[in-house]
């Protein structure tokens, strides 16, 4: 810091020390209130402050020649951070009375007050420090240029910390106040609009906010698009429009990136808050202003969103309940009208319901009988078809090789149908708690090859790689159920990976633990869907357009658990997925 010396602040003037200083800081000046009835004190302080800067900002002297004049200055500029205050001015205690005025009447606890006096006997330091809310006490004779700068910097840092603490406290109070009013909202549209309004006030109280909320919504063609669902300021006219039409291209791209990354984004002119709820998807909130948002404001915004997330779900549930109640009221009114005009309609409806219930129960029985019949009756014809295809293939190798590809398709279809029957039968037995593993010694490499061979036949263009070098030769397992597990995982790998991508089936044993891994280089699974991957009938976003029932991975997990093992999954979107089965042997 240039211009720091140890010359007495109020000594004789030998010249102007501020001449020739280059590259002055260009930031907004720090206002320093100097209250003293001696004009020479003002002149010397101004000269010295002109040479100093702190944190890239110069100093600005705000002068007052009396306590009364200082009161007028503070009435216009209550945000001055530091005051250098003389004690004896128009009266012997004018400075001390001004301290009382600042602290008690104005309620200004942030300003740092430094008493400096040329007559210490008039206001003894111990009495003043104890009796008045001041922050430092200096005699004019001891304030050199260096000490003045040190005193001011210390005071400014303290003021800045107090302002930060007060701003955070006010932000927390606004969060509590805003979230309390949000919890009283019952309409989803009103909630989002109120959320947008309150969110802007958390960090910009009293400003004219430019805030909007965006959500993914389904278009008429079944595809999703990002739409502005609420807005304030200049974004109010964009409500209901796609972001590409309502927003400038850089802002629209930032909104799409927030949806894609599921992470908050902060930029110089705006911030994107990803507002997630467990049951009702993602909303992206965008706040714009000229100044960048600080780290403290980032934390306040994220705390606010976390606090009101439960309110978002509550409103969704309330609207669903209202819709259900409205629908129920309409049905009751309709039924009541029908009863008033024709009582027999109720009797006929009751009979139809009873018959429908009987048909539903009969359908369930038929389903169980059908599955039992499939188990006993379909397997034999399918085995005959498979055997016939094998014999024809042996003959075709000698007589008509062109038939081999068609026979492979027949065998593959038979094997897929057999696997589908096994999956449904196993799921039915799992749901009725009737499935008990029948453990026995199993030739593990042979079992794995036996599962992979039908897939090689059915998909001759695919590469199925087996790594069995470290596989134990035998294991105590239910070979049929573990084979069904591997078939399900291989089937998933085939369906959700590119035709030219390899599928690896690896097995290794370590101690009393057996690990079997099936991995592919397919489309991968989003992190948000992995916790539900093994739920019954759950199908992820990547399964759109791919046939399936949603019970395969659920069956895999249940069979592995019955064996006392565990199944894990590692996946990266766009790079592939690896399922690992760990079994005790």
Q: How does pLDDT run across 75-93, given as a tens digit for each residue?
A: 888 888 988 888 888 888 8
Among 74-88, 153-167, 304-318, top mean pLDDT goes to: 74-88
- What number is the average pLDDT over the span 169-192? 57
Q: Per-residue pLDDT tens for 521-567?
A: 988 889 888 888 888 778 877 777 677 667 778 888 888 888 899 99
Residues paired with 270 in a beta bridge = 288
Question: What is the percent of the chain with per-residue pLDDT over 70, rounded to a whole number?
Answer: 71
Quick one: tokens of 254? 């930032």
pLDDT for 582: 92
The pLDDT value recorded for residue 316 is: 64
Of 222 and 573, the structure prediction assigns the larger pLDDT to 573
Gap between the Cα atoms of 566 and 451, Å rounded = 20
φ, ψ for residue 515, nearest 5 deg: -120, 130
Q: Which tops the pLDDT comparison, 415 or 99?
A: 99
Percent helix, percent strand, percent coil in the chain, to nearest 5 = 55, 20, 30
Tokens of 559: 């069979």
Q: Which residue has the higher pLDDT, 578 or 220?
A: 578
For residue 289, is pLDDT > 50?
A: yes
* Mean pLDDT for the stretch of residues 479-484: 86
Residue 377: pLDDT over 80:
no
Q: What is the DSSP string of 514-534?
A: EEEEEEE-SS---GGGGGGTT
Q: What pLDDT sits at residue 3?
A: 38
Highest mean pLDDT range out of 136-150, 371-385, 415-429?
136-150
Cα 250-221-493 angle, rounded to 5 deg: 85
Bigger pLDDT: 50 vs 574: 574
Q: Which of 363-377, 381-395, 478-492, 533-547 has the highest mean pLDDT?
A: 478-492
Is pLDDT at 500 greater than 50 in this prediction? Answer: yes
Q: What is the mean pLDDT of residues 117-140?
A: 71
pLDDT the model gives residue 578: 92
How many other CB atoms are there within 10 angstroms of residue 487's CB atom?
23
pLDDT digit string, tens, across residues 235-271 = 778 888 888 888 888 888 888 888 888 888 888 778 8
Question: What confidence score (pLDDT) does residue 20 get?
Answer: 43
pLDDT given for residue 422 in this prediction: 66
> Tokens 């714009």 sit at which residue?
288
Q: Is 413 exposed, middle or buried (0-12, 13-18, 19+ CB in 10 A)?
A: middle
Q: How many residues does the chain have?
A: 585
Q: What is the DSSP string of 177-231?
A: HHHHHHHT---HHHHHHHHHHHHHHHHSTTS--EEEEEEEEE-TTS-EEEEEEEE
pLDDT (average), residues 41-68:
84
Tokens 């796609």 appear where? Answer: 242
**How much is the pLDDT for 466?**
92
User: What pLDDT does 425 receive?
Assistant: 64
CA distances from 164 to 58, 170, 297, 300, 329 (A): 21, 10, 11, 12, 54
Please tell me the predicted confidence (pLDDT) of residue 515.
92
Indicate whether 232 pLDDT > 70: yes
Question: Angle at CA 28, nearest 5°, toward 25 and 34?
Answer: 100
Distances (CA, A) of 579 to 433, 489, 500, 554: 25, 8, 20, 13
The yes-or-no verdict on residue 177 having pLDDT over 60 is no
Cα separation values, 557 from 57, 484, 519, 532, 537, Å: 64, 11, 16, 12, 13
- Span 327-339, mean pLDDT? 80
Q: Are 525 and 533 in contact (CB under 8 A)?
A: yes
Mean pLDDT rounded to a whole number for the chain: 77
Q: What was the pLDDT predicted at 18? A: 41
- pLDDT at residue 341, as a whole number: 76
pLDDT band, residue 461 (cuts 50/70/90): confident
Predicted confidence at residue 192, as pLDDT, reads: 63
What contacts 14, CB < 8 A, 6 or more positions away?
Answer: none
| Nearest of 348, 336, 266 to residue 299 by alpha carbon | 266
State yes or no: pLDDT of 8 exceeds 50.
no
End-to-end CA distance of the chain: 74
pLDDT band at 276 (very low <50, low <70, confident <90, very high): confident
Helix (H) or strand (E) holding 291: none
Specify the range with the lowest mean pLDDT, choosing from 193-207, 209-223, 277-291. Answer: 193-207
Q: How far apart, in whole angstroms, are the C-alpha atoms of residue 192 and residue 332?
A: 32
What is the model's pLDDT at position 539? Answer: 81
Q: Which of 70-84, 160-174, 398-412 has the highest mean pLDDT?
A: 70-84
Rounded-to-integer distance, Cα 185 and Cα 200, Å: 18
Alpha-carbon distance of 134 to 98, in angstroms, equals 11
CB atoms within 10 A of CB 276: 16
Higher pLDDT pick, 54 / 582: 582
């Amino acid at each position: 810091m240039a211009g720091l010396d140890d010359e007495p602040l109020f000594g004789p003037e030998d010249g102007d020390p501020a001449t020739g200083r280059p590259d002055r800081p260009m930031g907004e000046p720090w206002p320093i209130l100097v209250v003293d009835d001696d004009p020479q004190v003002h002149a010397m302080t101004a000269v010295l402050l002109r040479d100093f800067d702190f944190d890239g900002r110069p100093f600005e002297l705000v002068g007052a020649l009396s306590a009364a004049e200082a009161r007028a200055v503070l009435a216009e500029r209550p945000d001055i951070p530091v005051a250098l205050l003389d004690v004896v001015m128009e009266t012997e205690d004018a400075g001390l009375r001004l301290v009382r005025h600042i602290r008690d009447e104005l309620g200004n606890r942030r300003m740092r007050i430094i008493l400096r006096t040329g007559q210490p006997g008039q206001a003894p330091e111990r009495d003043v420090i104890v009796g008045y809310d001041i922050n430092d006490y200096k005699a004019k004779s001891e304030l050199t240029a260096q000490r003045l700068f040190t005193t001011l910097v210390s005071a400014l840092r303290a003021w800045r910390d107090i302002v930060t603490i007060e701003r955070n406290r006010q932000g927390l109070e606004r969060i509590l106040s805003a979230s309390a009013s949000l919890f009283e909202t019952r309409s989803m549209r009103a909630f989002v609009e109120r959320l947008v309004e309150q969110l802007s006030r958390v960090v910009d109280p009293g400003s004219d906010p430019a805030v909007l909320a965006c959500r993914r919504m389904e278009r008429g063609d079944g595809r999703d698009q990002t739409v502005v669902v609420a807005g304030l300021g200049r974004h109010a006219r964009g409500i209901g429009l796609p972001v590409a039409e309502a927003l400038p291209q850089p802002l629209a791209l930032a909104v799409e990136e927030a949806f894609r990354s599921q992470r908050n984004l902060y930029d110089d002119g705006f911030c994107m808050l990803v507002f997630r709820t467990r049951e009702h998807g993602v909303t992206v909130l965008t706040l714009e202003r000229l100044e960048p948002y600080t780290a403290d404001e980032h934390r306040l915004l994220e705390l606010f969103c976390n606090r009101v997330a439960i309110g978002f779900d509550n409103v969704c549930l309330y609207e669903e309940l209202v819709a259900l109640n409205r629908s129920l009221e309409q049905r009751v009114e309709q039924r009541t009208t029908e009863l008033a005009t024709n009582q027999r309609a109720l009797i006929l409806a009751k009979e139809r319901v009873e018959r429908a219930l009987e048909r539903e129960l009969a359908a369930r029985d038929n389903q169980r009988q059908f599955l039992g019949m499939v188990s006993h009756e379909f397997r034999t014809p399918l085995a005959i078809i498979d055997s016939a295809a094998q014999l024809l293939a042996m003959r075709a190798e000698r007589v008509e090789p062109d038939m081999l590809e068609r026979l492979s398709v027949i065998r593959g279809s038979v094997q897929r149908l057999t696997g589908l029957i096994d999956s449904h039968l196993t799921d039915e037995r799992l749901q009725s708690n009737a499935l008990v593993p029948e453990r026995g010694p199993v030739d593990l490499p042979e079992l794995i090859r036996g599962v992979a061979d039908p897939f090689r036949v059915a998909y001759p263009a695919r590469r199925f790689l087996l790594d069995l070098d470290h596989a134990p030769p035998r294991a105590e397992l239910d070979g049929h159920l573990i084979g069904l597990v591997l078939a399900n995982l291989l089937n998933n790998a085939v369906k959700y990976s590119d035709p030219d991508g390899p599928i690896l089936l690896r097995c290794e044993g370590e101690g009393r633990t057996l690990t079997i891994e099936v991995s592919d280089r397919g489309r991968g699974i989003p992190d948000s869907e992995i916790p539900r991957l093994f739920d019954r009938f759950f199908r992820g976003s990547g399964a759109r357009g791919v046939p399936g029932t949603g019970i395969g991975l659920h069956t895999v997990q249940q069979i592995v658990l019955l064996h006392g093992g565990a199944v894990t999954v590692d996946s990266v979107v766009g790079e592939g997925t690896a399922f690992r089965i760990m079994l005790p042997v």
